[in-house]
Structure 1
Amino acid sequence: MSLSSTARPVPLWLLVGLQTAVSAASLTVEIVAGRVLAPHVGMSLYTWTSVIAVVLAGFSAGHWWGGRLAERPAPDALRATGWALIWAALTTAVSISLLHLVATPVLDAVGHPVWGIAILCALVFFLPSYFAGVPAPVLAQIAVTDNARSGQALGAIFAAGAIGAIAGTLLAGFLFISWLGSAGTLAAVTVTYLVTAALCFRLAGRGAWTLPALAGIGAVVLAGVALAAPAPCDRESRYFCIRVLDMSASPDHPVNLMVIDHLGHGMGARDLPQVMFTEHAAMLKALATLRAPHDAFTSYHIGGGSYSVPRALADMGTGEITVAEIDPEVTEVAAEDFWFDPASATIFHEDARRALLTRPDRHYDVILGDAFTDVAVPAHLVTREFFELVRDRLTPDGTYLMNVIDYEDRLDALASIVATLREVFPVVEVWTHAAQPDPGARMVFVVVAGQTPTEAGSLRAPAPDQMVFAALDPAFLTEILSGKGLVLTDDYAPIDRLVGRPD
């Protein structure tokens, strides 16, 4: 039985509007899902793969159930769709609170971190996607039944879904998250679902409104609870969830840690600009100074983070310092909480590779790579083509230094980066803490690439206690990397897989 047999036909424009709104809201949830998961599991290929797979699975199941509902008389189908949208509002409103509640138990209980991400994502975001997938078949069936040009009507509904998905993606990524935050964005989605649910109930005709109204009030309350809860981020920028943690032993001598998403990305002390608090920062600063062709050397920093190394070099009085930090809010936090003076450096708030590519007249004595997404360097910053660009932007005696994280029992990522750099530079060294690592331990390396070997084979630097760092013997390096190592290119750079995760 069609809607036209029991009530006036629904205008196609209204059905198109409903589908557009629901689709936009559902894709907004998908984008926010990646952001709210980041403080718990990081923002990696694994995170986005899980989010996309779970959301698509939810849509598929919802479309299947919506198709069954579409076989009912139209008023009944619209009323059921209204309830599906109320459930979409409820599950969306509770998603952030649920995530905070289950994240730690799930990740602790699931042995493999990648499976932990997938299961956590499914627990929190499958149901919102499932309920959001219900309306499309119902609205499509009504559009086809109530319009003489059924093919055009069906095409309009499909187009509305695609346009809504595009709009939701753009609005979430470019506007909502940076202006409203994750909780605020999901609250807006909750209200959108409730408005569309009310329209479905209205189109269905007579029926009790008490239960839907109470459920809608409950969804608004749950969204308000999420908004009122303490935010996991001090700042939620277009790129990252940023937190600053006070690590000071004394309030008279402040020390802060910058956490981006779920990992510490730098640490600094107000009164000790020359002291690095992490192994990689200590090696980068010491090796840059050691290998520089002269005291007033110029440097280009890929990634700012807490700006500890640029701050130290500025304090030393080296030459011009240039930093490519994609997120301007990271720079603001470094200036406010990590005692970095933005006037001491030239700062490009853009992708580091593009910043190098579009300024061919600039050359540097030292280029330092310290950019990460989760525990892996972004794929476009580990390829042969990028390393060729780095080589072309170095002075004749220049040096490239790169922070690399890998695991003692794997070293696939380290081996591939070394193999790729050897395609471009005549000398490639690997430096690390001069101590026997624990089996399977996560290790921090700095890879050195240039025209000549480093004069010294080891050095001491505070990190913050005095530590000894050394270059791996070339023969030993060849032995441990034997049989490993891909040459990474712009076409093929599976760095996430190569780093992997501990089992």
Structure 2
Amino acid sequence: MFVSGMAVLVLEIVGAALIRPFIGVGLFVWSSMIAVTLAALAAGYLLGGRWTRDLTGPDELERRFFRAAFLAGASMIVLPWLTAPVLRAVESLDLRVASLVSAFLFTPSLILLGSLTPMAVALCVRAGSSAGPAAARLFAISTMGGFVSALASGLWLLAVASAPAVLQGTGILLMVAAFGSPGGIGRMRGPRMLGLSLSLAVLGASAYPAFHRRPEQVVHQRQTVGGKVQVVDRNAERWLLVDGAIQGRERIADGAPTFEYVTLIGGLPARLAASPANALMIGLGAGTLADRLASAGVRVTAVDIHAFMPEIASRYFKFDAVRSRVVLMDGRVYLRRASEDFDLVVFDAYNAYDLPDHLMTLETFRLVRRRLRPGGVFALNVVTLAEPYRLAPKDARASDAIGTTLRAAGFESVESLMVGTPGWVGNLIFLASDRPVAPCLTDRIQAIHSNPGEILRDGSRKMTYWEIDSATAWRNEAYAVFGIKILLGI
């Protein structure tokens, strides 16, 4: 039961890591995984209870228990092999629907694992134990297994091994436990079960290399606690992907940024009173914007919550870690603790396709305003779906809310600029200050009118829902550029 408890949490945590590079939005993935896990376990409890009845012999229940454990492990081995076809099938669906359908990929394993508990209780009762204490012991053992695997998966395993490898390793462990336990299936009808075991092991082994063979364009790939990180070369450009979301891009030859919003924000120091300016960046990414600011003589403090990001930026991109000060910390925590003031504060932080909600609130914007010197500028980047001289309806609602919240935080001047090609995913840049900021407008940098909207406060997740269309378009654009094999790392 300890191993089965481990397997349930591995399926939930590692399963989310497996499908998130394609779905992207963490809230939807986790909500779907938790809901499907609970539903599958409930179905498994009912199935296990039914299997405790109508037995043909005294040893039949024991055989059913170990068969279910063995098949649960076997199904976990083949799960990575089935991921790509399922995600291709849900490509055109709404992100919320796609995440829910994808989560059902894990239901056979979870149902089988759920069936083990009632059968284990029945076995204990038949051995002479009282039902209540036996159930208590089994639930405690199973829960402790989940506790161990939750800590191991989230804090260690995904940092040293890929999601497919963790799933398959857990499946093998479960199969070995089913074979090796006293009375396990290894001693029952051996030839038939041994043949099934060998067949599934071969199938799992054939799936494993596909998930660890790196396409030629992928310069670097690793699974981290913060998501799957990939560095990809394409058309003389180097791209940074985190859980499938494009997080950075520069020319391979000279490291020049190819995102227009980087050029726009990078030109702000020339408009500031202080020289050189003192800038704070929340979100490092590939380091292209930090490097551009540093090249202009700006003292840059780059804050990122992910420990792997500075290494990726300096090793695979042209980011010079010597010219910028890097701090590993949540951006809002740093704003609370910081003692120095800045001429420029930049928010360019995304968690895959997710805009961190706790950074898009009145409380955070007030912290920013307190850290800005007179005449300083707060630049905020939001990925959005561009239409000629206006935003898509849901994006407009998000834009209006951000603009209204910035003004409520005390910024007297708030400008919103659309950067990019209409009809494509672009960047909506907010420039907020205590005095007017005159941006350089071109045919690809358009001023966007902002209407009064809601004030965003701590605890709100509305931005996640308002940004669904943009996140979907962003995901589809990454899918069109790189294909599912690169996004899933297969």
**For 1:422, which of 392, 397, 407 is the aligned residue?**
407
After alignment, is 189-198 or 290-299 more displaced? 290-299
Query: Following TM superposition, by how much is the alpha carbon of 1:68 offset from its aligned partner in structure 2, in angstroms?
Result: 1.0
**For 2:98, which of 116, 122, 127 is the aligned residue?**
116
* 2:67–2:185 contact (8 Å) kept in structure 1: no
2: CA distance, partners of 1:56 / 1:198: 27
Residue 105 of structure 1 corresponds to 89
Query: Following TM superposition, by how much is the alpha carbon of 1:369 offset from its aligned partner in structure 2, in angstroms?
Result: 0.6
Query: Following TM superposition, by how much is the alpha carbon of 1:375 offset from its aligned partner in structure 2, in angstroms?
Result: 3.2
Give RMSD over aligned pairs. Answer: 2.4
Residue 345 of structure 1 corresponds to 324
1: CA distance, partners of 2:365 / 2:58: 61
2: CA distance, partners of 1:329 / 1:174: 14
Change (3 A) 1:214 1:383: same
* 3-state SS in 1 of match to 2:311: helix
Residue 448 of structure 1 corresponds to 431
Change (3 A) 1:180 1:434: closer
**2:158 is aligned with 1:177:** yes
Query: Following TM superposition, by how much is the alpha carbon of 1:43 offset from its aligned partner in structure 2, in angstroms?
Result: 4.1
Residue 328 of structure 1 corresponds to 307
Residue 252 of structure 1 corresponds to none
2: CA distance, partners of 1:44 / 1:412: 21
**For 1:477, which of 429, 446, 450 is the aligned residue?**
450
**For 2:284, which of 265, 286, 304 is the aligned residue?**
304
* 3-state SS in 1 of match to 2:457: coil
* 1:76–1:204 contact (8 Å) kept in structure 2: no
**For 2:73, which of 89, 94, 100 is the aligned residue?**
89
Alignment of 1:287-302 (within 5 A): 288-302=268-282
- Which letter maps to 2:210? A
- Which letter maps to 1:392? R
* 1:406–1:413 contact (8 Å) kept in structure 2: no
- Which letter maps to 1:106? V
Change (3 A) 1:428 1:390: same
Change (3 A) 1:56 1:150: closer
* 1:190–1:220 contact (8 Å) kept in structure 2: no
2: CA distance, partners of 1:227 / 1:397: 56
Query: Following TM superposition, by how much is the alpha carbon of 1:248 offset from its aligned partner in structure 2, in angstroms?
Result: 4.1
1:438-475 deviation per Cα after TM superposition (whole angstroms, max 9, x unaligned): 4xx54420011221110x24346xxxxxx642433xxx
After alignment, is 200-209 or 424-433 more displaced? 200-209
* 2:227–2:243 contact (8 Å) kept in structure 1: yes
2: CA distance, partners of 1:400 / 1:324: 15
Alignment of 1:344-363 (within 5 A): 344-357=323-336, 359-363=337-341
Residue 496 of structure 1 corresponds to 464
Alignment of 1:267-282 (within 5 A): 267-273=249-255, 275-282=256-263
**2:222 is aligned with 1:235:** yes
1: CA distance, partners of 2:52 / 2:172: 24
Residue 244 of structure 1 corresponds to 231
Scaled by the length of structure 2, the TM-score of the pair is 0.86
**For 1:381, which of 341, 349, 359 is the aligned residue?**
359
1:471-495 deviation per Cα after TM superposition (whole angstroms, max 9, x unaligned): 33xxx423xxx5xx32111122321
1:273-313 deviation per Cα after TM superposition (whole angstroms, max 9, x unaligned): 5x431233233223x32443323111111111111101111
1: CA distance, partners of 2:450 / 2:97: 33
1: CA distance, partners of 2:460 / 2:86: 36
Query: Following TM superposition, by how much is the alpha carbon of 1:240 offset from its aligned partner in structure 2, in angstroms?
Result: 1.7
Scaled by the length of structure 1, the TM-score of the pair is 0.84
- Give unmatched runs, 5+ long, in structure 1: 1-18, 250-254, 461-466
Residue 37 of structure 2 corresponds to 55
Change (3 A) 1:137 1:280: farther
* 3-state SS in 2 of match to 1:395: strand
2: CA distance, partners of 1:244 / 1:417: 31
* 3-state SS in 2 of match to 1:402: strand
**For 2:296, which of 316, 322, 347 is the aligned residue?**
316
**For 2:10, which of 11, 28, 36 is the aligned residue?**
28
Residue 9 of structure 1 corresponds to none
* 2:22–2:87 contact (8 Å) kept in structure 1: yes
- Give unmatched runs, 5+ long, in structure 2: 215-219, 386-390, 474-490
Residue 132 of structure 1 corresponds to 113
1: CA distance, partners of 2:265 / 2:121: 59
Query: Following TM superposition, by how much is the alpha carbon of 1:500 offset from its aligned partner in structure 2, in angstroms?
Result: 2.0
After alignment, is 224-233 or 45-54 more displaced? 224-233
* 3-state SS in 2 of match to 1:58: helix
After alignment, is 405-414 or 51-60 more displaced? 405-414
- Which letter maps to 2:38? L
